[in-house]
Amino acid sequence: MLRRVVVLSKELTNKIAAGEVVERPASIVKELMENALDAGATDISVELERGGCGFIKVVDNGAGIHSEDIALAFERYATSKIYEFDDLYRVRSFGFRGEALASIASISRVEMASRTKEDISGTRIIVENGKVQEIIATGCPVGTSISVDRIFDAVPVRKKFLKRDLIEQGYCMDALTRLALSHLGLRMRVATHGREILNIPASKELSERISLVLGAEFMEQSVSVSGTREKVTLQGFISRPGLSKSNAKQLYFYVNRRFVKDYLLNHAVMTAYKRIIEARRYPAAVLFIGLPPEDVDVNVHPAKMEVRFRNPRELYEMVVEAIMEALSQASPISDKISFSIPEKKMGLDDYHARIEEALRRYALPLGKEKLLFEQSFGKKEDDRNAGEKTETTIITVKPVAEVSLRFSTAEYLGQIFGTYLVFSEHDALVLVDQHAAHERILFEQLKKASSNERVASQRLLIPEVFSLSPRDFSFLMDCVACFEEIGMEVEHFGGDTVVVKATPAFLSQLGAKELIMDFVEAFSEAERKMSLADKRDKIFALLACKGAVKANQRLSSAEVSELCKSLDAIPFSATCPHGRPVWVSFSGNDIERMFKRK
């Protein structure tokens, strides 16, 4: 049967829009909080019942809404944030699409009271399932109070998809946490069932704010990061290598103070931490990126959680460089080690390969024909924007004090269990894993030597010839270029046979066949499909592990001294290439507590 074309009703279109904007109670909390912040609120109280599934109330001290605009605010596409198309490219507010209140009211009952400082009294409005039930004058303070209940009663199918109350409350707290981190001057209070569960005062420093919101452990194990490139700025804090997470939940990215979930930024952070933390572990970070509003499209998704950048490559490079520089300085040494992207072959190829992979995936969701910012838009500025600056105000970050430690000048006390080197320095007892330390040293030396094409190689008196399975042979031939960079000559000798003519000098004690067999066995089927740059990293890590001093190997004082000098001379010396710690320390207070002296 041929069905006719009809225009959907306003009620139905609002409910469809609500499905995009209001996924769960946390979506309502986020939208109402952003509206309050856009109104200039500095004090916001949130009340939740049944994790937000039963009742949500948000009270702010913002500018309020004019009485004649109260009903209009619940109309779809009603907004005070944009007036013409070009405004979309100058957006500085959180909410601007004019869908939030209409969408929320279409699937719940909303009661709002608001007053501006110019009005003697406020106005109260009740909207249920998208229909205005009542508008009356009321007494209320300057600001806005919004209560939402009967959530999803009009769409019971959606209600069935909600989780348990405690889980939904967790989603609400996540949304509140993200906003609290990016607004230092905001006082936020959250209560549930009449009990206060969060009370965050206004803060002056980002470090203070992070400690209040994420806990003191984050700040104790973090280092400040900053970067600038043309009109783009980066500020924030990242975790030291010793602190890693099992998931990416503590990666907080803000673009012009808007929290976003962005693949490009996530990839950049993970690239910077590659071979510094363990595989399948994630760092923690709170990063604020500032750039002109016209260089970022925040209108990609109805919930405004995704953005697209005009110049993603430049942004990616800046983030990676800034984080790697901060991590290199976070190593346990006093001298600052400057870091820049290598200009030589290995480092540049490695870096560019990761950039291209990130950019390829970044453009995928839109498709080439839908790439943003290709269209030109008017540069006309009206009276509202004539005096507006394009620079974005960035949260000031106060660096955390670094504890300097230099192994070559620390007091060496000895070796225990044939594996750990013991030092005394800065009123602390420091244990160094000799294998992990030497492994990191060799790994960094391999990268540097490969980049500078200066690798000490040991030619074999009798080249070693051996056969491999067809599968392993094909994989090995794909990686020959990586071996050449570190002084290992591997050539095809006919059929599935290879010949090894030289090995790295520091691995001369190992058999060539043993090295090759260990190499092909170290790669899983999935890892064999990695990019050449990732394969190179894994090869270097494998060779460093093979060449490093082993556990239960006694070291002379001269060998320890040489190890310490080398450790002081490299960046990222806090962890081995596999992400395991190189050293741990116990302060005098820690030791006194162990003995119950404190």
CA torsion angle 309 312 318 324 (round to 10): 110
Give the sheet arrangement for strand 109-115, strand by strand: 131-138, 122-128, 109-115, 143-149, 55-60, 43-49, 187-192, 195-200
CATH fold, domain 206-370, is: Ribosomal Protein S5; domain 2 (3.30.230)
Q: Please give the pLDDT value at position 109.
A: 94
Question: Which contacts of 473-482 are long-range, i.e. CB under 8 A and separated by 24 or more positions?
Answer: 473/498, 475/520, 475/523, 475/528, 476/516, 476/519, 476/520, 478/535, 479/519, 479/532, 479/535, 479/539, 481/532, 482/532, 482/535, 482/536, 482/539
* Each residue's pLDDT expressed in tens, for the chain with a length of 598 residues: 567 676 667 666 665 555 556 888 999 999 999 889 988 999 999 999 999 999 999 999 999 998 888 888 888 776 666 555 565 556 566 655 457 888 898 889 999 999 999 999 999 999 998 889 999 999 999 999 999 999 988 888 888 888 899 999 999 999 999 999 999 999 999 999 889 999 999 998 999 999 888 888 788 888 999 999 888 999 999 998 878 888 888 899 999 888 988 888 999 999 888 888 887 788 999 999 998 888 887 666 555 567 788 888 888 999 999 998 888 776 543 333 333 333 333 344 555 555 665 665 555 444 433 333 433 333 444 444 444 443 334 454 544 444 457 888 889 999 999 899 999 987 889 999 999 999 999 888 888 877 765 567 788 888 889 888 888 888 888 888 888 877 788 888 888 888 888 888 777 677 788 888 888 888 877 778 777 778 888 888 888 888 888 888 899 999 999 999 998 888 888 888 888 889 888 888 888 888 888 7
3-state secondary structure of 441: helix
On whether the CB atoms of residues 267 and 319 are closer than 8 A, the answer is: no
Q: Please give the pLDDT value at position 94.
A: 62
CATH fold, domain 10-200, is: Heat Shock Protein 90 (3.30.565)
- Angle (CA) 11 13 15, round 5°: 70
Domain ranges of the chain: 10-200, 206-370, 407-585
Q: Please give the pLDDT value at position 384.
A: 41
| CA atoms of 368 and 598, how far apart (whole Å) | 64
Q: Please give the pLDDT value at position 300.
A: 63
Residue range 407-585 forms a domain whose CATH class is alpha beta
